[in-house]
Amino acid sequence: MEPFLKHPLGPKMKERAKLDDLVISTRIRLARNLKDTVFSPVLSKESQHQLCQRVETSLGGLQGFEYLHMGTYDVVTRQALVEKHLISPTIAGKEESAVLLSEDETISVLINEEDHLRIQTLLPGYQVEEAFELAKRVDVLCGESLPYAYDEQLGYLTTCPSNIGTGLRASVMLHLPGLTLTGRITPILQELRKLGYTIRGRYGEGSDAAGRLFQLSNQRTLGSHESQLLTDFMEVTEQVIQAERQAREELLARNQDELEDQFYRSYGILRYAKLLSSTEAIERLSDLHLASDLGILSDWSPPQFHELIVKLQSGFLQKHFGKTLSTKERDRERATLVRRTLDHGLV
């Protein structure tokens, strides 16, 4: 477990990638179930345990993977893995669940999620096809030793009908400060929802879009072939990216002075505040990131945005400081960490 908590980003996530000024990361998820086992919602704790063991036996020996059983770890450790997007909140909340994690942190096979298996791949930047190919390779590997519940007409069978068919969900985490600051994000969100896409705050359902980070994913999984589904998804994503670029250009043309003022103020606050909530920290770091993208803070590189976002989440923060912290203590330590990070920055 330890290596996965040492750094906020896995080795692969630190690499520069296509469009990574706007697309923080790409994820592919395949929902799979075993035909010889009752589906998760009605699975007894005993059977959940057996399922974990069975997957461990089949796949646990894979080179370059580690098998982590959730029951072994405390709440904060699990939370930190959620914050890295290596596991889901559902898995984190279940004692009898596990994840098979690749050492480079690009592949997670979640066991006893809403479905028996959820194969997830995570890559930096905009890499939908690459993440899909990787997921398919893992899918084939899993399918060789585990009997999937598959229906010729319907496709892969899943617990929730919304996942039936391909079981495929593609998502991209987008940094959309331009659309947020111009207020254009609202109609775009509505439009995307009408088109059958889900777009929500960084940490999934119900959470705010802190730091102007949005997770866009497809809702339909049935009926389409995987390739059609991905093509549609990429088309929509690229439209959003295009709109974001336009919004940024307009912002710059219209309010350069005010933007500059806002960015420098965010820098000043990050550099001196003694208490910082996670939401505020991300939002102000988003300002710096945007300023750097727009060339406003031209002779200065902001701290690695994605890395800091993860580092400043409460689970990861508590792991970093090696102790449980109250909300206020977290706000204080978060501020300290940010100050230290910026110390050698802009003067």
Contacts with its own copies, residue ranges (CB under 8 A): 257-258, 260-261, 264-265, 267-275, 328, 332, 335
**Alpha-carbon distance 93 to 318, whole Å?**
18
Nearer to its own copies, 83 or 331 (CB): 331
C-beta of residue 270 within 8 angstroms of C-beta of residue 288? yes
Q: Taking the CB of residue 203, how many other CB atoms lie within 10 A of it?
A: 17
Nearer to its own copies, 194 or 274 (CB): 274
**Which has the closest alpha carbon to 123: 66, 65, 171, 175?**
171
Shortest distance, position 87 Cβ to its own copies, whole Å:
34
**Alpha-carbon distance 330 to 333, whole Å?**
5
Q: In what order do the strands lie in the sheet with 117-124?
A: 65-69, 98-102, 107-111, 117-124, 23-32, 168-175, 213-218, 197-201
Nearer to its own copies, 49 or 334 (CB): 334
C-beta of residue 154 within 8 angstroms of C-beta of residue 164? yes
Helix (H, G, I), strand (E, B) or coil at 233: helix
Nearer to its own copies, 252 or 269 (CB): 269
Shortest distance, position 332 Cβ to its own copies, whole Å:
7
Shortest distance, position 189 Cβ to its own copies, whole Å:
31
Kindly compute the dihedral angle of the four CA atoms of residues 92, 338, 207, 247, in this order, to the nearest 10 degrees: -140
Binding site residues for ATP, as ranges? 25-29, 85, 118, 169-173, 200-205
Shortest distance, position 251 Cβ to its own copies, whole Å:
15
**Which has the closest alpha carbon to 230: 243, 221, 239?**
221
Backbone φ and ψ of 216, nearest 5°: -100, 130
**Alpha-carbon distance 5 to 206, whole Å?**
26
**Which has the closest alpha carbon to 285: 216, 335, 249, 320?**
335
Nearer to its own copies, 193 or 254 (CB): 254
Nearer to its own copies, 194 or 328 (CB): 328
Shortest distance, position 328 Cβ to its own copies, whole Å:
7
Shortest distance, position 213 Cβ to its own copies, whole Å:
23
Nearer to its own copies, 197 or 263 (CB): 263
Nearer to its own copies, 225 or 265 (CB): 265
**Alpha-carbon distance 232 to 4, whole Å?**
34
Shortest distance, position 115 Cβ to its own copies, whole Å:
45
Shortest distance, position 296 Cβ to its own copies, whole Å:
10
Identify any residues that bridge with 197 across adjacent strands, giving them in sequence order: 218
**Alpha-carbon distance 209 to 25, whole Å?**
16
Q: How far apart, in Å, are the Cα atoms of 344 and each of 152, 292, 303, 347? A: 60, 16, 10, 8
